[in-house]
Structure 1
């Protein structure tokens, strides 16, 4: 699924109107119908109580008027507050004329703000994606009044005052919604942490927008849903053997951090790797062999950290970083790995690498190593680790610019972890992930992701981008499956490992019939 800019969204609406020979008011009616269908499924008349629909002068306000009409037809108690303006859109005027006289309507003024009792269901249809400047005047007063009322706010398409694809000026007025019901495609603004308090929980409703326009639209923003990764993982041939699915090497662990190595190894094994070898400090040898008997183990000569790099010839992919530590010996191993993983006759694109945790921190401390990254190296930073690789971001939008530039410059795949984990590609595309939940905000989740990606990058049949996108999605899906059992608060990283297999099973291609 793609993500469009605000300008492209308007073009999409027009393309839909032109292709389907619709009056523009008919498309507005579709949106209103989709919104009310969602609303009816959430709140009965008794639960909703009296509903206040706040309508601005443009097409978002026109949506609100149509919604008020449909709510009235559904026997909901509804009233409308109109934000006055010198000009109203044609479709606004159409829906105003058709609003039943039985629906109370009041024009809002500075001296006559609508009464809003705590808990009132308020539908925000003041301003939509066409907004190009911060709210001013009476609109600001109304937003503040709404915030003080402690109402239940549902935004139509986007919270009023929020830009769809750019940051707000600091301190500008934006409606804070508990739910946002949008149409067709997600907005970039929905996916960024700085907007979470405005957007609340967002929902997409289908209104039959032009598939031709969507398929031909040029954008580098994408949203990875189930359809994007369905059947990405090839079915296992009947005569497969352990060599079919790759031999991976994991460089991980140090004193006090052996758990990270164990989680990464367990996730790699559960993600279908054929063979796994782990180089770990010797203090962890016993517990590793007991906890992960399916893996081969190379104990390092050093007790507390890794100091040697094994021969890389047997391996199809290498993961480094979980629990590694940042001492000089581990840095030397990391440097040697980068130098030996470069392209060769047997590996034209270099040895696939997954770099995480302490290895990322070492890379941030020694940016002179960045040119050594083989093409399609996978980096998995959280925002703070990414900042160490680049620079502090002014806001979430600036961070996306830094992410995109970094991936293009270094020809790598960067997985910026968090809600809606964002995968940046060497071509400059950004892919936001749809799976996962706040229960995954727990120690070890990133180590599990490293193991998943390591297994999938060792898989010869999966191109780099497809392997990483699949791994990120499956990791989040494992979190969703685990949370359904444990609840979010009770989820630990080990639960993710247990659910990786079932998650991947839903994404595996079926054998040809």
Structure 2
């Protein structure tokens, strides 16, 4: 699903009005009807609503919702933030319509003395400011938002929580802390961790904006959806054999961290690889062979850490390196030699990234279209600290293009920065996956998919989504609190079933 900027969202509204055609007031009514239906369905037991409106079109949405709720017999109070200038045409028209409903109370907030406590049990609807906001809230607007946030009432924001910018950082700005956001278009603000406490649960409502605009307008960002993954999957030929599904090399593990190697190998095997070889320290031989008889093992000459890789790399379709390898000087030298010798895409994670962060000259040696999978701490060590999540996104995009690699900035909505195409946010996964070892599994999955011949742009998209989907299935069975990374691995078969047997 495409993610449009505030300017593009405004253009989409205008395109719909012109090409459908439909009057702007009627498009507003359509949006209000969708919101009212959602509110009725989810707050059916509530009879009292306090609606806070600015005097722009977001406020017009709020007034239309107020009228529709009043028509259904609900008790509605309107609070209009008043700065002494008229509202937009659609706001004024909806305000005139409301005057025909004497049961609806309308109050104007002209100073902090007009900010009154919200009745207990009432649902608050925030329609103060929408996606067109271009400066942070100050003065009376900020005071009102703070007062709303102090209430214990459920808060539903229309379009976007007031005070949040649509496509740039609002970090440390005063904004509504919504329980639910009812939006009509996908927004970048919904996918960054810094807004987590503001947006609540986001619900995208279809108000039938013109499909041609969506189809023909390029977007820099998109979300990964299940249907787009299904379209990428290769069908297995009945007469295929293990050689048809690739041979991958995993370089992983050291003393005390063989679990990382085992988890990465399990991820690779569950993702469908034909053959897997694991380069591990001598210490880990019995561990790996006992845990995973399906994996072949190449023992390092060093007992406690990895210092080398197989002399002949030609059998390997892809290499994954990093989980649990540590940063011994021998291991640093091994990584440098690997980057000099191997020119196909590599998956780099964990300690491989930490080595790169202290030896940045190696970044230029990473093979084209390799995949880097840092968590936020590793990302900061690699590329420097960013002031906010939006800056991190831009740095990831810049570095992906500069190094000609894919960068997976892991998080709730893992962000995939592409060197050439659209940048992606993942929509699968949950907080139960925030455990040591989860990233090691992803390394194995990505190595497996590359080995099977998926190009990097497809492998990273499938792998990140599959990883999150398996986590969701594990959480459904064990809860986010009770699931383990091993549960995630065991859920990969069920995740594949959802994708392959989608009908």
TM-score by length of structure 2 reads: 0.96
Which sits farther off after the overlay, 408-417 or 214-223? Answer: 214-223
Q: Residue in 1 aligned with 2:143?
A: 141
Per the alignment, in what secondary structure is the counterpart of residue 208 of structure 1?
Answer: coil
Q: Distance in 2 between the 1:486 and 1:510 partners?
A: 23
Q: Residue in 2 aligned with 1:346?
A: none
Q: Distance in 2 between the 1:119 and 1:145 partners?
A: 16
Unaligned runs of 5+ in 1: 343-350
Q: Residue in 2 aligned with 1:165?
A: 167
8 Å contact 1:280–1:299 — kept in the other structure? Answer: yes
Q: Distance in 1 between the 2:172 and 2:394 partners?
A: 22
8 Å contact 1:255–1:305 — kept in the other structure? Answer: yes
Q: Residue in 2 aligned with 1:92?
A: 91
Unaligned runs of 5+ in 2: none
Q: Residue in 1 aligned with 2:9?
A: 9
Q: Which of 49, 55, 58 is the aligned partner of 2:56? A: 58
Q: Distance in 1 between the 2:275 and 2:497 partners?
A: 19
Tell me by how many angstroms 1:115 deviates.
Answer: 2.8
- Count how many residue pairs are aligned between Structure 1 and Structure 2: 498
**Deviation string, structure 1 residues 332-375 (Cα, Å, up to 9, x no partner):** 11111111112xxxxxxxx2210000001001110101111111
Q: Residue in 2 aligned with 1:348?
A: none
Q: Distance in 2 between the 1:140 and 1:425 partners?
A: 38
Per the alignment, in what secondary structure is the counterpart of residue 500 of structure 2?
Answer: coil
Q: Distance in 2 between the 1:173 and 1:158 partners?
A: 14
**Deviation string, structure 1 residues 401-427 (Cα, Å, up to 9, x no partner):** 110100000000000000100001112
1:194 partnered with 2:208: no
Tell me by how many angstroms 1:202 deviates.
Answer: 1.1
Over 6 Å off, 4+ runs: none
Per the alignment, in what secondary structure is the counterpart of residue 3 of structure 2?
Answer: coil
Matches within 5 A, 1:27-106: 27-44=27-44, 46=45, 48-85=46-83, 86-99=85-98, 100-106=101-107
Per the alignment, in what secondary structure is the counterpart of residue 322 of structure 1?
Answer: coil
Q: Residue in 1 aligned with 2:444?
A: 451
Q: Which of 481, 486, 500 is the aligned partner of 2:492? A: 500
Q: Distance in 1 between the 2:459 and 2:497 partners?
A: 15
Per the alignment, in what secondary structure is the counterpart of residue 107 of structure 2?
Answer: strand
Tell me by how many angstroms 1:96 deviates.
Answer: 1.3
Q: Distance in 2 between the 1:22 and 1:385 partners?
A: 50
Matches within 5 A, 1:230-379: 230-310=230-310, 311-342=312-343, 351-379=344-372
Per the alignment, in what secondary structure is the counterpart of residue 172 of structure 1?
Answer: coil
Q: Residue in 2 aligned with 1:442?
A: 435
Q: CA RMSD in A?
A: 1.5
8 Å contact 1:235–1:510 — kept in the other structure? Answer: no
Tell me by how many angstroms 1:179 deviates.
Answer: 1.1
Per the alignment, in what secondary structure is the counterpart of residue 52 of structure 1?
Answer: strand
Q: Residue in 1 aligned with 2:456?
A: 464
**Deviation string, structure 1 residues 208-247 (Cα, Å, up to 9, x no partner):** 1122111222321111122322232111111111011100
Per the alignment, in what secondary structure is the counterpart of residue 506 of structure 1?
Answer: helix
8 Å contact 1:269–1:276 — kept in the other structure? Answer: yes
Q: Distance in 1 between the 2:259 and 2:282 partners?
A: 14
